A and B are shown apart, each in its own frame.
Chain A
């Protein structure tokens, strides 16, 4: 394999790895967890359909009722549900 091809593969894999956190978290357990969190905070949602991971313990979710929230853990260790 040439040096150029190896560099290309490295770039591609790096791009894929870096893009992974941005991809939707489709794990049903995570969706259910986020649904429960939003409900616990008393926000209307119904059910979380998709969740996009922004970082550690940081998601943007889309609800069945059309609303969108950012769900994250702040510096004090509190779960925050922020309407988008």
Chain B
């Protein structure tokens, strides 16, 4: 072996050591340009910092694998940012890599794919809407007819007003004029308030049931198909 050859070999080995040393350092998301084998312990510590910004965890894996690892890392970066800083996480991830590269690669991938699944608190917020009250229009109508809390004249007057409101809804469904909806809602709320004020003292159960059916009734009135079946 000539002196030039041995010098060349020395240079190559130094470069390899530098690469490996930088591979042990945690992390920047950017991939490395040169694939290195992450087997050896960190080399000269003085040379590690310059290599830090440009070398990622997956630098020891083949280019194709680094691509997937990069993706996985990108996915996991915002979650890591939202969590408290895990100082020990990058070394733990990098530990198994030197032994068996495929196994080491699948481990972080599993981790990154399971993280979105373990984040259901974001996907499934606590249900804020109250459970839909069971609506039995026939029963409500019968109870309204039979209640003694409202006199006959008043019932007839209420029926007139209900008919007027239904006529307005018929017009709304014909014209599809969305601007009518606000006015209809006001009229609907007012009429319901009248009914409730008449019932609340002498037939509180019916008043409660009608009040809890308010939104279900409104949905029926505003839905063209359901409205036709009224």
Binding site for B on A (CB under 8 A): 29-30, 32-34, 36-37, 40-41, 57, 71, 73, 77-79
Contact = CB atoms under 8 A, between A and B. Distances in A.
B165 interface: no
Interface of B: 150-154, 156-158, 160-161, 194, 198
A77 B157 CA distance: 9
B198 A79 contact: no
A63 to B, nearest CB: 15
Given A37-B157, A79-B153, 10 more contacts: A29-B151, A33-B151, A33-B154, A34-B153, A36-B154, A40-B154, A40-B194, A41-B157, A77-B160, A79-B157
Contacts, number: 37
Contacts of A41: 157
Contact of A32 (B151, B156, B161, B194): B151
B160 A79 contact: yes
29 contacts: A29-B151, A33-B150, A33-B151, A33-B152, A33-B154, A34-B151, A36-B150, A36-B151, A36-B153, A36-B157, A36-B198, A37-B151, A37-B153, A37-B154, A37-B157, A40-B154, A40-B157, A40-B161, A40-B194, A41-B157, A57-B153, A71-B153, A73-B153, A73-B156, A77-B156, A77-B160, A79-B156, A79-B157, A79-B160
